[in-house]
Structure 1
């Protein structure tokens, strides 16, 4: 069911319920007022007739004759007068006797002084009337034909109003819901035009202040992120294909060349050695891509625990020296830590070790003496790691594109690489809510500054 239909039905149902409550309330209030007014009229008529009879102003036969004659044309009030010991003194029409008084009723009237009740559709009253110091029981009953006719007319009018009003409300509700949802239909039509090949298209925002405007803005922001993700994916796939193709082509060519003709053991060993180097390059590239994928996880998806930065740096130093025995790494504590917490962070030891390993290798391989100087310090809520070298440095262009995936700078011929390490390192530091900055000048070396919040 469409929202337009749902809103119409909900609006009509709610309005019908409220309308019905008001209609019923009007009907019952009107009926209550009619009933009370007729009971008062009965009491007045009963007292008038009882007074005329007891005062001997009109004899009983005349009053009975008037009652019987009027009853043919109007709903005349039937009155009866009794003594307190249930002796009948007067009755308009004993042969009809609408109320059918009993001794128990007389006792009830004497006790309550005034009672009102229904006998079928007839309304009746009973009261104690005092005349010349003596109490009498007076009863009266009549059919409120005029009041019932008005009640029926009111009921029919309310039913017509309810049906007619509800019909109008349904039509108005449908028109309003259609008008209200018209902008949404326009948004849906525009959204249907957005495809993978037209992901740069955006939804029009007519009013930034209303909910639909906020929806369009939010959806456009989502499209913006998706477009960036798609573009990054395209670039990533293209660059990965390019980077993998080179070592794979070299590996294939080396193996094909080895199979062309018989060779000496030394030649086979040389071919296998070259193929192994190409395989190592492929493995290293794949490892870098896998680590890059891990760094793209959300922080809640990665195991985080308390880790000491000095221990991570020692581990990273050992890994670098194990792979490159000719590298030199100096670890220097700028200030003595009175509390271990200043060097302890909440993080993932594997990813942080990978980040420091990349920074140490980058220092060493671009340094003239293959040395990285690591300065460890802290300030306020930050643990600060500075990694410096006295190497060739970077140009402004290289610094600007340093953290771009697969970017190789102007010094790419000095040392091999894939343009993954710096991008991976930045992602890891940001994942740990830290900051990574670089200062460098050509010919004067490079310094990486890592700031991580300590516990």
Structure 2
């Protein structure tokens, strides 16, 4: 069921329910007013006939005649007069006697002064009437045909108007819900026009500053992010293609050259070594891309556990020195770190080791003496690791770009690399709720600082 249909039905049900409540109150109020007015009429008729009988001394025969004549054309009030000893003094129609007075009823009227009740649909009133130092009991009853007819007509009018109102309310609700949700349909139509080939299209926000306007702005912000993501993805694929094409082209050229010419054993060995070097570059690039993909997983999909940062750092040093024996790394502990909690964090040891290896390798690679100094310190809430070198440094204008994937500074082009390491390191540190910063001066050195939270 569409939202506008649900809204229309909900609006109709709510409005009709309120309408029925008002109609019920109106009908009930009208019925109570009719009942009260008819009881007053019965009281007046009862007192009038009692006065005619007791005061004017009109004969019962004459009163019976008046009653019989009036009863031919309307529901005449039936009156009975008793003394307090339950002796019947006068009755309009003994043969009918709708009230069926009893001694108990007369006594109750005498004690309470008045009594009102229904006999089937006939309203009955009993009164204690004082005349010439003597008390009498009067009962009067009649069927309010005119009042009930008015109530019946009122009920029919209410039901008819409720039915007509329901139709009108449903129509109005459908019209206004359709009008209110038209901006949503416009957004749907505009979103359906957007595809990979035209991600530059945007949704026109609603005219008024309401929730639909915010929805349109939210969609546009999401499209901005998607467009940036697609552009970054295309740039990423282009960079990967370039990075892979260069060593692959070199391997193919070396092999084709050795295939076309008769070379010496040393020349063949040189060709194999060159191809092996380029293959290692491809493998390293593939491993970096795999780590880069892992670092972009959702944090809930990566296995985290309690680890000691110093142990992960030592493993990273051993890994790097196994592949690069000429690299030298100096570890310095600023504080006495006797307690595990001071150097422990909650993280993934593999990813942290990858991040540390990248920083250690860059520091040694770009340093004149292939050395890196790591200073480890702690604060009450964090573990701080500073990776420093005395190498070529980074130009100030390039500092803001160094964490961009595949970006390489102007001085770094003379060194082997693919430009993934620092962006990968930043992502890994971010996954561990840490921070990474850099300070560098050209031809003097660079210091990368990682801050990781304690357990």
Q: Does 1:147 align with 2:166?
A: no
Instruction: State the match for 1:32 in structure 2.
Output: 32
- SS in structure 1 opposite 2:75? coil
1:78-137 alpha-carbon deviations (Å, 9 max, x no partner)? 111234454432111223322233455445545655322223332222334344454443
Shift of 1:33: 1.3
1:230-267 alpha-carbon deviations (Å, 9 max, x no partner)? 11111122222232333344555666777789999988
Structure 2 CA distance for aligned equivalents of residues 204 and 14 of structure 1: 34
Instruction: State the match for 1:54 in structure 2.
Output: 54
- Which deviates further from its counterpart, 269-278 or 183-192? 269-278
Shift of 1:5: 2.5
Structure 2 CA distance for aligned equivalents of residues 403 and 203 of structure 1: 32
- SS in structure 1 opposite 2:181? helix
1:50-89 alpha-carbon deviations (Å, 9 max, x no partner)? 2432345211111111111222334321111234454432
Instruction: State the match for 1:430 in structure 2.
Output: 430
Q: Does 1:8 align with 2:23?
A: no
Q: Aligned pair in 2 of structure 1 residues 154, 208: CA closer, same or farther (>3 Å)?
A: closer
Instruction: State the match for 1:328 in structure 2.
Output: 328
Structure 2 CA distance for aligned equivalents of residues 17 and 190 of structure 1: 38
Instruction: State the match for 1:92 in structure 2.
Output: 92
- Which deviates further from its counterpart, 122-131 or 103-112? 103-112
- Which deviates further from its counterpart, 249-258 or 437-446? 249-258
Structure 2 CA distance for aligned equivalents of residues 392 and 39 of structure 1: 110
Instruction: State the match for 2:43 in structure 1.
Output: 43
Structure 2 CA distance for aligned equivalents of residues 140 and 395 of structure 1: 112
- SS in structure 1 opposite 2:243? helix
Structure 2 CA distance for aligned equivalents of residues 431 and 422 of structure 1: 14
Structure 2 CA distance for aligned equivalents of residues 394 and 83 of structure 1: 122
1:366·1:414 contact (CA, 8 Å) conserved in 2? no
1:199·1:227 contact (CA, 8 Å) conserved in 2? yes
Structure 2 CA distance for aligned equivalents of residues 379 and 56 of structure 1: 114
- SS in structure 2 opposite 1:376? strand
Structure 2 CA distance for aligned equivalents of residues 131 and 309 of structure 1: 112
2:305·2:347 contact (CA, 8 Å) conserved in 1? yes
Q: Does 1:446 align with 2:427?
A: no
Counterparts of 1:378-393 in structure 2, within 5 Å, are: 378-379=378-379, 381-393=381-393
1:308·1:344 contact (CA, 8 Å) conserved in 2? yes
Instruction: State the match for 1:233 in structure 2.
Output: 233
Q: So what's the TM-score if we normalise by structure 1?
A: 0.89
Q: Does 1:120 align with 2:126?
A: no
2:183·2:206 contact (CA, 8 Å) conserved in 1? no
Q: Aligned pair in 2 of structure 1 residues 343, 207: CA closer, same or farther (>3 Å)?
A: farther
Instruction: State the match for 2:371 in structure 1.
Output: 371
- SS in structure 2 opposite 1:42? helix
1:295·1:428 contact (CA, 8 Å) conserved in 2? yes
Counterparts of 1:286-325 in structure 2, within 5 Å, are: 286-325=286-325
Counterparts of 1:213-362 in structure 2, within 5 Å, are: 213-251=213-251, 275-337=275-337, 340-362=340-362
- SS in structure 2 opposite 1:326? coil
Q: Aligned pair in 2 of structure 1 residues 256, 208: CA closer, same or farther (>3 Å)?
A: farther
1:254·1:275 contact (CA, 8 Å) conserved in 2? yes
- SS in structure 1 opposite 2:331? strand
- SS in structure 2 opposite 1:18? helix
1:29-55 alpha-carbon deviations (Å, 9 max, x no partner)? 111111122112212321332243234
1:306-339 alpha-carbon deviations (Å, 9 max, x no partner)? 3333222212111111111111111112343475
Tell me, which stretches of 5 or more residues in structure 2 are unaligned? none
1:400-448 alpha-carbon deviations (Å, 9 max, x no partner)? 4322212233344543211111110111122223222223333222222
Instruction: State the match for 1:169 in structure 2.
Output: 169
- Which deviates further from its counterpart, 33-42 or 186-195? 186-195
Structure 2 CA distance for aligned equivalents of residues 213 and 143 of structure 1: 65
- SS in structure 2 opposite 1:99? coil
1:155-210 alpha-carbon deviations (Å, 9 max, x no partner)? 33323432333333233323322332232232222222221111122222345731
- Which deviates further from its counterpart, 114-123 or 422-431? 114-123
Structure 2 CA distance for aligned equivalents of residues 414 and 247 of structure 1: 16
Q: Does 1:129 align with 2:126?
A: no
Q: So what's the TM-score if we normalise by structure 2?
A: 0.89
- SS in structure 2 opposite 1:93? coil
- Which deviates further from its counterpart, 339-348 or 284-293? 339-348
2:393·2:446 contact (CA, 8 Å) conserved in 1? yes
